[in-house]
């Protein structure tokens, strides 16, 4: 086991720079997800930790050792690939034993290692099969088994669940998390799925266009996103964002398009007339009889456990609200939604940076 | 079905059947033969030239195929890397295959000429030899020369097909193996080679069939000489049957090639069967 220190790392492919100075500290035994939309550089960063891509500038250290010029096989990392990359001509057992065989581990010892890993993952009945004879979830498990057998310092996962169907994905998600709790090996997990990131990680690194937008525990990112990107990326359905400005006459409030007015927590240090973006999570919106934002109901989606409502404000902006209670709405009717001032997020209208509110301190 | 069957009948079954039938007759050009049983084969059985041609054909096929495989695989591995002007080199490699065999054979004829050989000239200029090499006049040299020409012509086919096979191997397998600790040789030994075997089986079956039935190169370069040292079964069959007019005997030599070809096809039949790891569901 080992920590991983990524320090001001840059990566260019020819003239195109795709990582612009990324720094992340990963503690020993931590489960960290790198999350972001496609093209944000998260997979490249993972491949640089593995040694499959050269580091253009900056340094990466695994444990105490700087690995910039260390060959992949010397780095003591194991990687699970998106397409699993199982050797099709080897059985499950041979796939798992391959790294041990290359290391010159004796046959009985290697068999024991494979057996141990297979037991952890429930692969024992499949050991004699070939990858083609396995289902997607089983292949996924073999790929993890191949990583476990080596007992590496760091596990790297590159979007391992994206080839699985939704149900299996949820199941494997839990399995990977359980595996980490059991083995406590430092894990770096790349995904574009923020739900995966939220549910599995001790720490999330949100990346966008080659930079780190925010690093923190899942709930901190959810409760206090640093900027508009993180606010809109983390959470499903996404945070409602309304453009407008600050009005400080009397008690401070937010004035948005179509005459919307939302009262804000007092003691705001934002000047009058400042352009801002107001953010409210869908589950923080409440129904109200006489005050709040008027919303015209467009679509109602009952899922059983909750009701999701999609509506439009007078300014034409879309608003999504989630209710645990079973309200019955009719499309076309106008309802009013409010939110606790303490649950409201404010971002700068131009830079997208978060305004610190009292609850942040 | 019917048109296909008719085509097969007219263009494959009939000529083959006629050839086999002729082998059992004493037909000559201009004279329809009569059935003489296996007399032609009895004659060939005790014919030293025929056995020499069998030996030559096997030597030619085996050595040329091994060389083509080794050099073709090597070339394919080089072309599979990220070279500058990659597609240009791939196109160039195909040239020997694209040029009509007779033309390249004539070019080789000049290269091997006893008086004007550019090889002899170049080696002499470099001071490596003091008199011209008799490429096609000496039995050993002639055999090596025709094999070299055949290898030159056959490499592109092997290289390009194996290259196509190499490109179907996912990059992530190499990355996974690299992380598993494989050296370059081990990547080749444990990933490339096993995944390439199905393509190798197809390619080499075809290559062996082409080489075994080769005719043009020999006919242009040596016509089987010197003293039958480079006669293949195909050229001997032509010489006896067409040039010599003994249609029956020529046909018998041609028919004698069939067991060898059948063996090659059987080999490929087993070689081409889906391996155990290729069976089962899709990806």
ipTM value: 0.83
Q: Does B189 touch chain A (CB under 8 A)?
A: no
Judge whether B31 is closer than 8 Å to chain A, CB to CB: no
pLDDT for the residue B277: 73
Summarize pLDDT for B247-278 with one digit per residue, the tens: 889 999 999 999 999 988 888 777 777 677 77
Domains of chain B and CATH, by start:
56-243 (1.10.3720.10)
Angle between helix B86-93 and helix B48-79 axes, rounded to 10 deg:
170
**Is residue A359 over pLDDT 70?**
no
Q: Among the CATH numbers 3.40.50.300, 1.10.3720.10, 2.60.40.1150, 3.40.50.720, which is that of A30-54+65-227?
A: 3.40.50.300
Q: Contact at 8 Å (CB) between A144 and A176?
A: yes
Q: Does A139 touch chain B (CB under 8 A)?
A: no
pLDDT on residue B282: 47
Q: Rounded to whole angstroms, how far apart are CA atoms B246 and B134?
A: 33
Q: From the list A89, A90, A103, which residue is nearest B181 (CB)? A: A103
Interface test with B, best of A89, A94, A117 (most B CBs within 10 A): A89
Nearest-by-Cβ selection for B180 from A52, A88, A98: A98
CA angle A105–A111–A113, rounded 5-degree value? 80
Omega within 30 of 0 (cis) for the link into B181: no
Q: Check if the beta carbon of residue A303 is closer than 8 Å to that of residue A236.
A: no
Mind listing the pLDDT tens digit for each residue in B140-164?
889 999 999 999 999 999 999 999 9
Q: A142 near A134, Cβ under 8 Å?
A: yes
Residue B281 pLDDT: 52
Which alpha helices (DSSP H) does chain A contain, by range? 42-50, 92-103, 107-121, 136-149, 166-183, 194-200, 218-223, 228-233
The answer to whether residues A325 and A339 touch, using CB atoms and an 8 Å cutoff, is no
Instruction: Test A146 with B178 for CB contact under 8 angstroms.
Output: no
Task: Out of A79, A86, A132, name the one closest to residue B179 (CB).
Answer: A79
Locate the chain B residue with the closest alpha carbon to A70: B179
Residues of B within 8 A of A82 (CB-CB) are: 172
- How close, in Å, is residue B186 to chain A by CA atoms? 8
Q: Strand, coil or helix: what is B33? A: coil
Look at A20-24, A57-61, A160-164, B15-19 and tell me which has the smallest mean pLDDT.
A160-164
Does B283 score more than 50 pLDDT?
Answer: no
What is the sign, positive or negative, of the torsion defined by CA atoms of A191, A197, A200, A201? positive
The answer to whether residues B207 and B154 touch, using CB atoms and an 8 Å cutoff, is: yes
- Give the integer Cα–Cα distance in Å for B43 and B24: 12
Radius of gyration of chain A (CA): 24
Residues A60, A300: Cα–Cα separation, whole Å: 49
pLDDT of A245 strictly over 80: yes
Interface test mutation site (partner A, options B176, B193, B196, max chain A beta carbons within 10 A) = B176
CB contact under 8 A, A87 and B176: yes
Q: Please indicate if any CB of chain B lies within 8 Å of the CB of A70.
A: no
Average pLDDT rounded to a whole number, residues A201-214: 93
> Mean pLDDT across the stretch A344-354?
89
Distance CA B238, CA B249 (A): 10
Mean pLDDT of B100-117: 87
Q: Which three-class secondary structure state does DSSP give residue A280? A: strand
Comparing CB atoms, the residue among B172, B179, B190 nearest residue A83 is B172
- Residue % of chain A over a pLDDT of 70: 98
Report whether pLDDT(B221) > 60: yes
| More reliable by pLDDT, A360 or A6 | A6
pLDDT higher than 60, residue A224: yes
Provide the pLDDT for residue B58.
Answer: 94
Higher-scoring residue by pLDDT: A94, A274 = A94
Q: Which residue of B has its CA nearest to A103?
A: B181
CB A18 within 8 A of CB A46: no
Query: Per the CB < 8 Å rule, is B172 touching A52?
Result: no
Phi, psi of A41 (to 5 degrees): 100, 5
Instruction: Return the domain boundaries, chain A.
Output: 30-54+65-227, 237-360
* Pairwise CA distance, residues A10 & A22, whole Å: 7
**pLDDT of residue A168 exceeding 70:** yes
Q: Find the closest chain B residue to A47 by CA distance.
A: B175
Computed over every residue of chain A, the mean pLDDT equals 89
Q: How high is the pLDDT of residue A326?
A: 84
Res B50: pLDDT: 92
Decide if A81 and B175 are in contact by the 8 Å CB cutoff: yes
Q: Which fold has domain A237-360?
A: OB fold (Dihydrolipoamide Acetyltransferase, E2P) (2.40.50)
Compute the residue count for chain A.
361
């Amino acid at each position: 086991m080992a920590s991983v220190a990524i320090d001001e790392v840059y990566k260019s492919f020819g003239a195109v720079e795709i990582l612009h100075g990324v720094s992340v500290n990963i503690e020993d035994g931590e489960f960290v997800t790198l999350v972001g939309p496609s093209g944000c550089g998260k997979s490249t960063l993972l491949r640089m930790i593995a040694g499959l891509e050269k580091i253009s500038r900056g340094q990466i250290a695994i444990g105490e050792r700087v690995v910039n010029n260390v060959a992949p096989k010397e780095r003591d990392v194991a990687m699970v690939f998106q397409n699993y990359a199982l050797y099709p001509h080897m059985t499950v057992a041979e796939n798992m034993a391959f790294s041990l065989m290359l290391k010159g581990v004796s046959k009985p010892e290697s068999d024991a290692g494979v057996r141990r890993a297979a037991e952890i993952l429930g692969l024992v009945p499949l050991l004699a099969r070939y990858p083609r004879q396995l289902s997607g979830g089983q292949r996924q498990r073999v790929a993890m088994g191949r990583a476990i057998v080596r007992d590496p310092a760091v596990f790297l996962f590159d979007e391992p669940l994206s080839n699985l169907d939704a149900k299996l994905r949820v199941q494997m998600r839990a399995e990977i998390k359980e595996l980490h709790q059991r083995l406590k090996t430092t894990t770096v997990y790349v995904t574009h799925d923020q739900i995966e990131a939220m549910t599995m990680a001790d720490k999330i690194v949100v990346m966008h266009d080659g930079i780190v937008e925010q690093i923190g525990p899942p709930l901190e990112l959810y409760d206090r996103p640093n900027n508009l990107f993180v606010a809109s990326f983390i959470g499903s359905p996404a945070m409602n964002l309304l453009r407008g400005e600050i009005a400080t006459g009397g008690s401070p409030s937010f004035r948005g398009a179509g005459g919307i007015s939302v009262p804000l927590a007092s003691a705001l240090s934002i000047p009058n007339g400042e352009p801002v973006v107001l953010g409210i999570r869908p589950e923080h919106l409440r129904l109200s009889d006489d005050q709040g934002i008027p919303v015209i109901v467009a679509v109602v989606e009952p899922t059983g456990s909750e009701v999701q409502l999609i509506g439009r404000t007078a300014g034409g902006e879309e608003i999504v609200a989630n209710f645990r209670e079973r309200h019955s709405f009719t499309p076309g009717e106008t309802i009013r939604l409010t939110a606790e001032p303490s649950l409201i997020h404010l971002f700068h209208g131009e830079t997208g940076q978060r305004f610190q509110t009292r609850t942040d301190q | 079905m019917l048109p296909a069957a008719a085509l097969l009948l007219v263009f494959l079954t009939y000529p083959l059947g006629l050839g086999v039938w002729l082998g059992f007759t004493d037909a000559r050009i201009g004279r329809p033969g009569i059935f003489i049983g296996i007399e032609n084969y009895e004659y060939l059985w005790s014919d030293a030239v025929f056995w020499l041609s069998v030996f030559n054909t096997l030597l030619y096929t085996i050595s040329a195929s091994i060389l083509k495989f080794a050099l073709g695989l090597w070339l394919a591995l080089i072309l599979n890397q990220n070279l500058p002007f990659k597609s240009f080199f791939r196109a160039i490699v195909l040239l020997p295959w694209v040029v009509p065999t007779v033309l390249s054979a004539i070019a080789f004829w000049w290269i091997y000429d006893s008086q004007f050989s550019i090889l002899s000239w170049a080696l002499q200029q470099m001071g490596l030899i003091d008199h011209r090499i008799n490429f096609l006049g000496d039995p050993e040299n002639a055999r090596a020369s025709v094999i070299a020409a055949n290898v030159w012509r056959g490499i592109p086919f092997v290289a390009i097909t194996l290259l196509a096979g190499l490109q179907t191997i996912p990059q992530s397998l190499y990355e996974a193996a690299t992380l598993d600790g494989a050296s370059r040789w081990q990547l080749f030994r444990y990933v490339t080679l096993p995944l390439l075997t199905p393509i190798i089986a197809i390619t080499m079956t075809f290559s062996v069939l082409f080489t075994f039935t080769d005719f043009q190169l020999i006919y242009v370069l040596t016509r089987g000489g010197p003293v039958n040292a480079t006669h293949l079964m195909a050229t001997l069959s032509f010489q006896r049957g067409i040039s010599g007019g003994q249609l029956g005997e020529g046909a018998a030599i041609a028919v004698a090639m069939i067991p060898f070809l059948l063996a090659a096809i059987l080999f490929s039949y087993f070689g081409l069967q889906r391996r155990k790891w290729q069976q089962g569901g899709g990806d």
